[in-house]
Structure 1
Amino acid sequence: MSKKIPKASKIPSNDNKIVPPSINTKNKKISFSFESLERTEYFNLDGTCINWSSELFEMLKEVSTREKSELLSGKIKSYRIHDHRNATPPSKLPDGVSLNDFYQIRISKSKGAIHGVFYENIFYIVWLDPLHNMYPNDHYGGLRKIKPPSTCCRDREDSVKLLSAENEKLKAEKKELEELLEELLE
C-alpha cells in the first residue's frame, strides 16, 4: 500500500505571516535582509571559490545569535565590524546611504566581508565583497572586478568543446593514416 503525500494546510486568513512557532520575532538578535542587495562590477558573488558561500552562511548563522549592541561594542574581534567613514568604495553608494551608516561584517580573514546598513536589529546587506574591494590590498590582489561565474555546467560545456575539437583532430589524423596505409598497400 502506497502512502499519500499530505497536502499543505491553508493558512488562516487573519495570519499573514508564515513564522514557525519556535521563532521568537520579538527578540533583539541580528536578522539579515537581502532586500537591498546590489550587484556591481566590484561587489557580488560571481566567480567566488566553492567554499565562500558556505562560510558566508556560517557567519550569518553565528552573527544571528548576537545582539546589535554586542556586535558594535568591538568585543567580537573575528567579525571586524566597523563603519566605513574613511573608506573610498569603488562603487557608488546607494541613494540615502552615508559611509558613517555603512558597516562591514567580515566573513573570515581570507573570505572578505559583507557591507550594509543596520536598521534596529536588521542588517540590510548591500554588497557582498569576496575580493576585499572595499579596502583593496595587494595581499589580496588589489582592486579587482568580479569575473563572470564559472559553474559546473559552464566548466562541463568548456570540457565538451575541447574534447570535441580533439576528437575531430584525431578523426582527421586517422583518415590521413588510413589513406597512407592504402597507398602503401597498393
Structure 2
Amino acid sequence: MKDFSSWTVQELLRDRSPSIRCHPIEWSETSENCFNIPNEEQLVDTPYQLSLSANEYGRMHGFFLGDIFYIVWLDPEHLLYS
C-alpha cells in the first residue's frame, strides 16, 4: 500500500506486472450492480478493481476522485467476480 501511494493514477492504470492490475469494474459481470454509497452517481465516474498481488491478498474495489483512490471494499476472497 505504501508503494501505491507514491504512484500517479496513470502509473496505476498501466500494467506494471502480473501481480499489480488496476482496471475498470464491469458491473454487468459481477455479483453487485454498484457500490451503493451515498451520492455515488456524482462521485464515481468509473469504478476500479486493484490487485495488490497475484491472487494472494485479494483485491480492492473503489474509485478515483482526482488523484486519490478511495477504497470502498476489500475483497480478500475474490467474491465480486465469480
TM-score by length of 2: 0.74
- How far apart in 2 are the matches of 1:63 and 1:121? 12
How much has 1:69 moved relative to structure 2?
1.0
Count of equivalent residues: 75
Cα deviation digits, residues 87-113 of structure 1 (max 9, x gap): 533234124276x70101112222210
Task: Tell me, in whole angstroms, the C-alpha distance in 2 between the residues paired with 1:106 and 1:80.
Answer: 5
Partner amino acid, structure 2, of 1:72: L
Instruction: Classify the secondary structure of the residue corresponding to 1:79.
Output: coil
The counterpart of 1:128, out of the listed 54, 70, 74, is 74
Structure 2 residue 59 is the aligned partner of structure 1 residue 118: no
CA separation of 1:132/1:81 partners in 2, compared to 1, >3 Å: closer, same or farther?
A: same
Q: Does 1:102 align with 2:47?
A: yes
**Corresponding residue number in structure 1 for 2:26:** 85
Correspondence 1:71 to 2:17: no
Q: Percent identity?
A: 35
Structure richer in helix, relative to its length: 1
Aligned counterparts of 1:125 and 1:86: Cα–Cα separation in 2: 16
Q: Name the aligned partner's letter for residue 121 of structure 1.
A: D
Q: Please report how far the alpha carbon of residue 68 of structure 1 lies from its aligned counterpart in structure 2 after TM superposition.
A: 0.8
How big is the alpha-carbon RMSD for the aligned residues of Structure 1 and Structure 2? Answer: 2.1
Q: Which has the higher strand share?
A: 2
The structure whose Rg is larger is: 1
Query: What do the CA deviations read for 1:24-44 (whole angstroms, capped 9, x no partner)?
Result: xxxxxxxxxxxxxxxxxxxxx
